[in-house]
Each structure stands twice: as C-alpha cells, then as structure tokens.
Amino acid sequence: MDFWEVIKKRHSVRNFLSQPVEKERIIEILEAARLAPSWQNRQCWRFIVVTDKEKIKKIGKLNPLNYNINFFLQNVPVIIVACANPKESGRRAGIEYYLVDTAIAMEHLILAATNLGLATCWIGAFDENMIKDVLKIPQEIRIVALTPLGYACEKPSVVDRISKIVARGGTRKRLEEIAYFNSWGEKLI
C-alpha cells in the first residue's frame, strides 16, 4: 500500500471477525515496532501478543476503568499489549519518555497492520493491575496501551457508531488550527 493510503485508511475498528491472524503477519507488524526510534535507542518497549481466548475474555471484561465500551475486546482474535520498562528510558522536564518511545513503536505497529489490511483500535482505558495479573507482567513494568488486531467486520457495530460520535472519530481539526509559522499563532497558510 502507498504511504498516504495507509495513513488515510487507518481508523479505529471496534467490530472484528473471529478469523485468526496469520503468524507471519503478526511478526511483520512487530518488526515495524522494533524499528521505531527511542530515547538513547534504549528500546524500553515490550509487546505481548495475546491469542488465548480465556485471557482475551478477561482483558475485555467490563470494569470501572474502561469506558464501558471496550467490552468489544472480549471477542477479538488477538490483543497486543504494549508494555515498557521505564528504567530503560529517560525523563526530562517532567516528560516520561517511556510513554513517548512506546507510543511511537505502537503507532508503527498500527500502521504496519493497516498496510496488511488488518484493523486495530488504540485502547487507553484499561485496568492495568488486572491485565498485569492475567499476563504475569512484573510490577516494575508499565502497560502503555493495547490494541485489538484482526480483520474488520464490514458492518460497523453499534459500539463502533457510538464511539465515533462520542470521540468524534474521523473528524480532524483544520491544519491552520494546529500548525503555526515561525511563532505561536502565526498563520502557516
């Protein structure tokens, strides 16, 4: 797929086919994450690929910390959990770079998945302790994000449609609202 096609095609999907994802494809998208830039090239990230149905069900279970909408995760073929070891990254002026490193790698992974015709949805609302427990993740490791991975259902679900309205999915600010020229507020175009 052409670069711009990938960028434009990526969107959050919340309705997946049960069709499993081929192992070679999972490896290919993990490879895209592996090549991401990071603080001092320390590569603090770790990715857990979850295909075990029982574990997926537990991760998607309703809990007070998710939007009550992430229950769609219970029925996805794969969940990728992006973790980080904060000690393998840095901090400057209050910015924790393990979050930055892992977010960049996760977006590499998500775009590589799009390139292969796979669907994803960045998930930030999750119960970290519960997932750590299910996946035996050590205490010092943080979970930064998750994404389901699989083939999208042609028809968006009710959850898809509600999420698109609540999170204004698909819409973006105009370029002049987010980009300036030489100083803050100066028009670029």
Q: Using the minimum distance from each CB to ligand FMN, give the nearer residue, 38 or 147.
A: 147
Nearest-approach distance from CB 98 to ligand FMN, in angstroms:
15
The residue number whose beta carbon is nearest to ligand FMN equals 124
Nearest-approach distance from CB 92 to ligand FMN, in angstroms:
21
CA distance 56 to 142: 19
Q: DSSP of the chain, one letter per residue?
A: --HHHHHHH--B---B-SPPPPHHHHHHHHHHHHT---GGG---EEEEEE--HHHHHHHHS--TTS-S-GGGGGG-SEEEEEEE-GGGS-EETTEEHHHHHHHHHHHHHHHHHHHTT-EE--B----HHHHHHHHT--TT-EEEEEEEEEPBPSS--HHHHHHHHHTTTT----HHHH-BSSSTT-B--
Nearest-approach distance from CB 23 to ligand FMN, in angstroms:
26
Q: Using the minimum distance from each CB to ligand FMN, give the nearer residue, 43 or 114.
A: 114
Q: Using the minimum distance from each CB to ligand FMN, give the nearer residue, 79 or 121.
A: 121
Q: Using the minimum distance from each CB to ligand FMN, give the nearer residue, 27 or 125.
A: 125
Nearest-approach distance from CB 25 to ligand FMN, in angstroms:
20
Q: Using the minimum distance from each CB to ligand FMN, give the nearer residue, 13 or 137.
A: 13
Q: Using the minimum distance from each CB to ligand FMN, give the nearer residue, 127 or 185.
A: 127
Residues near ligand FMN (CB under 6 A): 11-12, 14, 67, 69-70, 121-125, 163, 167, 169-170
Nearest-approach distance from CB 185 to ligand FMN, in angstroms:
25
CA distance 168 to 22: 32
CB 149 within 8 A of CB 120: yes
Nearest-approach distance from CB 91 to ligand FMN, in angstroms:
19
